[in-house]
Amino acid sequence: MQAVNRLLAEKGFDAMTVDEVAARVGIAKASLYKHFPSKEDLAAAAMVRVMRRAQEFFGALSGAAPPLENLRSAVRWTMALKLAGDMPALPSQNSSLRATLMSNREYMDGLMEVSDRLGAWIEAAQADGSLSRKYPPIAVLYTLYARACDPVLEFLQMGGQHSPEEIIELVLATCFEGLNAR
């Protein structure tokens, strides 16, 4: 699972080969196929694992903290995962992985739970005036999700001028405070 996770993060589903996974784990490819019926199921298992970790982390966030702070923490966690090379790339529109994931009960349930939790924080943050009320909550949700695959993170990482923590705070600021002067 860990190897699959890394490979999905490095190259994405299409470019990842089952041979690579087997080689990295150190077993024969056929052995892998005894555990997972297809490449899609193999990848889906890794995606489910990440989703579970997200559920655990988001679930442990304080109910007492301001909703905006919880949102920021959630996004920070997500970006840290990506910078560490542990965030599997989202399946693109036409990938065969997409269909498998959408029919995966555990994955979809996790996605729903995470979305509901973030959605509640978003509405609470708009209600308490910390988050702008001019955006539809769903647009805010998408914008936060998109930080999980933001190429700005890897571009800045490649530049080598900033630590992971600096990169996270930088992107977090552009996301919540915007590029304009305040």
Partner DNA sequence: GTCTATAATCAGATAGAC
Partner DNA sequence: GTCTATCTGATTATAGAC
Considering only the stretches 38-46, 54-62, 88-96, 100-108, report the one whose residues sit in contact with its own copies under the rule CB under 8 A. 88-96
- Euclidean distance between CA atoms 83 and 167, whole angstroms: 9
* Residue 163 binding DNA, by CB under 7 A: no
Q: Which is nearer to its own copies, 1 or 173 (CB)?
A: 173
Residue 153 · residue 170 · CB < 8 Å: no
Residue 156 C-alpha from the chain's centroid: 18
165: tokens are 């923590």
* Residue 146 binding its own copies, by CB under 8 A: yes
Residue 86's Cβ-count burial label (10 Å; 0-12, 13-18, 19+) is middle
Residues 1-30 that bind DNA (CB under 7 A): 16-19, 26-30
- Euclidean distance between CA atoms 2 and 110, whole angstroms: 19
Residue 131 · residue 123 · CB < 8 Å: no
In the list DNA, its own copies, none, the entry touching 31 (Cβ below 5 to 8 angstroms by class) is DNA
* Residue 93 binding DNA, by CB under 7 A: no
- The 105-134 contact track toward its own copies, x by CB under 8 A, reads ------------------------xxxxxx
Residue 13 · residue 95 · CB < 8 Å: yes
Catalog residues that contact its own copies under the rule CB under 8 A: 10-12, 14-15, 68, 89-90, 92-95, 129-136, 138-140, 142-143, 145-146, 149-152, 154-156, 159, 161, 170-171, 173-182
